[in-house]
Amino acid sequence: MIAEELRTRIPARNVLPGNSAHYLADETEGRGLRGHADAVVLPESADEVAAVVAWCYEQGVPVVPRGGGTGYAAGAVPLDGGVVVALERLARVRSFDPPFWRMEAEAGVTTANVRRIAREGGLQFAPDPGASEQSQIGGNVATNAGGPHAYKYGVTGAWVTGVEAVVAPGELVRVGGPLRKDVASYDLTSLFVASEGTLGVITSVWLQLTPAPEAAWPVVGFFDGVGAGCAAIERLVGSGLPVAAIEYLDGETMRYAGAGFPTEIPAGAFCVITEADGSHDEAAHVRADALELLGEDAIALFAPERPAEIAALWRWRDGVALRVDAQRGGKASEDIAVPLDRIAEGIEESLAIGRRLGLDACSWGHAGDGNLHSTYLFSREDPDAVARATKVSEELFSLALRLGGTISGEHGVGAVKTRWLAQQLGPKASELHAAIKQAFDPKNLLNPGKKTAFPS
């Protein structure tokens, strides 16, 4: 019925039945989260998105925006039905101006394509979240995605200068644009960043690019345990050396995911990956200093220079999550972030949660940003382990808040962390947060139940 109505408003070829399985789940499917929809639409233009939202808003039908479906928070999963608006056909680069370091890309352009096109113009789109061939720039903006190089270059929001979006009750708005400065209004552009589909459907974004570095050379150190590894990370940060990334992988992660690492890994060692980039001379200087800093107490160092080896290293890093996932079939994992001076504590205590719950645990993440992907493995065939794993998130979130951190450094709140957001924000900030939602979406139809509580 809803699909039939929508077929009268946008081309029928762009409306799929609600049971189109591909559009009903994201990376949380392993946690049992799968939705059901009344229809799935694949608009080919921003005007079609506006027509769909206008009809849904009038009829009281929820709208669930969907990018590449790589989210870890069930943000794109239609848990309470409604219309999934999948942006994959809005995939044009509307403009690319290398001399001005900028691009306007429609929401459905994949992250990898944004990066590829920028590179072909001698530029770089700095954010590099791990699932870049599937995730879309609209999804990256909606989650404010990060990645290893966020340490030097910042997360997606740092590179967004404007947003075009369909807002309630079905109108297209543009905030910001191809501008480097704009302080005229409240920062409406930033409100769409990390909004997780709850304030509007992003249809296009203006991106600031940066010249691609001439050279980018990783430097890897292996250390005897969490303490030594974190001391090296603190040395790196404290030195002010402008490395592009500081990643960590603990000994257990290396044991689970080490296959394919482009050099021999000392058994049980804690791994720190950093990268020197810039002009050839700058990168050479930073690389030498990074080798010296990590080398102070590293068990082993690895500093590949051949492009094939460097590509293999980052390809390996991108695949770590999937290799760990494959170990037992079941995993519980979150993306808390803590202040930089609490990283060692954050890692040690998150591993202790595993010991307490009787689950094998490992931890890796973006150390330079204090962002921990601590992960707990279990077999889905073991109901007792499954029951224990349900306690993981609770324990990790209270750890994050106790250390002065956040319940999400990357993946967002989605459907899975809403209760905890209120706890992180406290009553007054929660009230302001909910008031923003109400101002944008008075009927609570834009991705309802995700991210924020609607004021009662």
Two structure tokens written together for 30: 């392993």
Angle between helices 392-402 and 418-425 (to 10 degrees): 20
67 binds ligand FAD (CB under 6 A): yes
Structure tokens at 297: 């107490």
Site map (CB under 6 A) of ligand FAD, residues 92-111, x = contact:
---------------x----
Q: Which is nearer to ligand FAD, 179 or 326 (CB)?
A: 326
Complex with ligand FAD: residue 144 or 208, whichever CB lies closer: 144
CB of 98 to ligand FAD, least distance (A): 25
DSSP string, 344-359: HHHHHHHHHHHHHHT-
Neighbours of 81 (CB within 10 A): 16
Stretch that binds ligand FAD, among 39-47, 72-80, 234-242, 344-352 (CB under 6 A): 72-80
Is residue 110 within 8 A of residue 68, CB to CB? The reply is yes
- Residue 87 binding ligand FAD, by CB under 6 A: yes
Residue 388 sits in the site that holds ligand FAD (CB under 6 A): no
Q: Which is it for strands 39-41 and 15-17: parallel, antiparallel or unpaired?
A: antiparallel
Residue 395 CB contacts under 8 Å (≥ 6 apart), including other chains: 353, 356, 357
Binding test (CB under 6 A) with ligand FAD, winner from 3, 18, 27, 441? 27
Which of 18, 62, 138, 368 is close enough to bind ligand FAD by CB under 6 A?
138
48 is an interface residue for ligand FAD by CB under 6 A: no
CB of 64 vs ligand FAD, minimal distance in Å:
6
Q: What share of the chain is helix, strand, coil (3-state, %, to 5)?
A: 40, 20, 40
DSSP conformation class of 138: H
**From the list 35, 43, 62, 65, which residue makes contact with ligand FAD (rule: CB under 6 A)?**
65
Q: Work out how close the CB of 66 gets to ligand FAD at its nearest, in angstroms, rounded to a whole number.
A: 5
Instruction: State which of residues 204, 208, 406, 447 lies at the interface with ligand FAD (CB under 6 A).
Output: 447
Q: Which of 147, 162, 218, 449 binds ligand FAD (CB under 6 A)?
A: 147
Residue 410 gets which letter from DSSP?
S
Looking only at the bridges linking them, the beta strands covering 270-278 and 246-249 are antiparallel
In 41-187, alpha helices (H): 46-59, 111-120, 137-143, 150-153
Which of 2, 3, 15, 76 forms a contact with ligand FAD (CB under 6 A)?
76
Q: How many residues bind ligand FAD (CB under 6 A)?
A: 38
- Candidates 91-99, 125-133, 277-285, 377-385; binding stretch for ligand FAD (CB under 6 A): 125-133
Q: Which of 102, 342, 388, 411 is the binder for ligand FAD (CB under 6 A)?
A: 411
> Taking a C-beta distance cutoff of 8 angstroms, is the pair 100, 178 a contact?
yes
Among 68, 330, 405, 449, contact with ligand FAD (rule: CB under 6 A): 68
Burial label for 66, CB within 10 Å (0-12, 13-18, 19+), is: buried
Residues in contact with ligand FAD by CB under 6 A are 26-27, 65-72, 75-76, 87, 107, 129-131, 135-136, 138-140, 142-143, 145-147, 196-197, 201-202, 321-322, 410-411, 414, 447, 450
